[in-house]
Amino acid sequence: MRTLPKPIFSYAEVINSCIDGTDNNDLSTRLRNIEASLNTTASTYDIRAATQSLYLFEQVKSVGMVTKDELQDMYSTHLSATRGNARKYYNALRGASTKCPLCGVGTVTVLDHHLPKSKYPDLAICPTNLIPACDFCNNAKKAKSPNTIGEQTLHPYYDDFTQEQWISASLNMAGPPTLLYFVLPPPHWDEISKQRVSRHFSVVNLGHNYTTNATDDIVTLRSPLNRIYASKGSDAVRQYLVGEADRYSGRVNSWQHIMYQTLASSPQFINGGFYEIPV
């Protein structure tokens, strides 16, 4: 949903820091023996992510003589652990954004493995596979991974789907006004792009996230819309809502922009339907 610059440090730097923090000499030796292989994997990741081909990655259970569990432990013991030897890289990655780039709503609290470490342990500490995220998106994604090009969720370091609006909403006026968000890509998009945004919307549960935020925020509109309507009429209400939509036009797929856009286009809402907003 939001783009981020790629990390400025390399997989090699993170690997070395993790190995340097390893007390087990046998494990340290085995990790050194696969260091070149892991760096090659990172280069392949970069190429495939840039060409929408991450779905081609094969799941692995080991690399050389290093097991899946040992590869995953590199992340939990050295990268994410508060006193881990590579913790500075974790902090840099998590601190790259305050808002979750996967939804644009939640506050960043964790790192999400774009390709899950349970299936791709060779990518467990690959910086370009680690995305700052909120708990909601991280928990929604879990260990989901793509099997086809269209099943690839959006990658903040490589994808930019921020320039055109591909999310829309409908307004349900049967009772308190409720916004229901859905995917509506521009018709000129290719089928793969349409599939990918739909997949992303579904995997991180954006519809629920957006509707929840809109439902909470819309209650603040009843009083100001009432004053505008009473003094200047429905056209002034529409103009106010259009102005609010424009305020968020820099993020055309934000729930705020779409909410105000949808409300402004509803004759029923601007002609007094807003009185159904709960007090």
Q: What average pLDDT does range 1-20 have in this prediction?
A: 95
Q: Count of CB atoms within 10 A of residue 172's CB? A: 11
Amino acid occupying residue 146: P
3-state secondary structure of 210: helix
3-state secondary structure of 110: strand
Tens-place pLDDT, residues 166-218: 999 999 999 999 999 999 999 999 999 999 999 999 999 999 999 999 999 99
Closest CA to 72 of 4, 152, 7, 63: 63
Q: Count of CB atoms within 10 A of residue 15's CB? A: 22
238's tokens:
């529409």
Tens-place pLDDT, residues 61-91: 999 999 999 999 999 999 999 999 999 999 9
CA-CA distance, 96 to 143, in Å (whole number)? 23
Q: Where are the domains of the chain?
A: 11-151, 167-276
DSSP H or E stretch at residue 180: strand 178-183
> Is the backbone of residue 83 left (phi > 0), alpha (psi -120 to 50) or beta?
alpha
| C-alpha dihedral sign at 62, 66, 68, 71 | negative
Give me the residues paired with residue 111 across strands: 132
Output the pLDDT for position 1.
81
* CA distance from start to end of the chain: 32
What value does the mean pLDDT of the chain take?
A: 97
Tens-place pLDDT, residues 102-156: 999 999 999 999 999 999 999 999 999 999 999 999 999 999 999 999 999 999 9
pTM of the model: 0.95
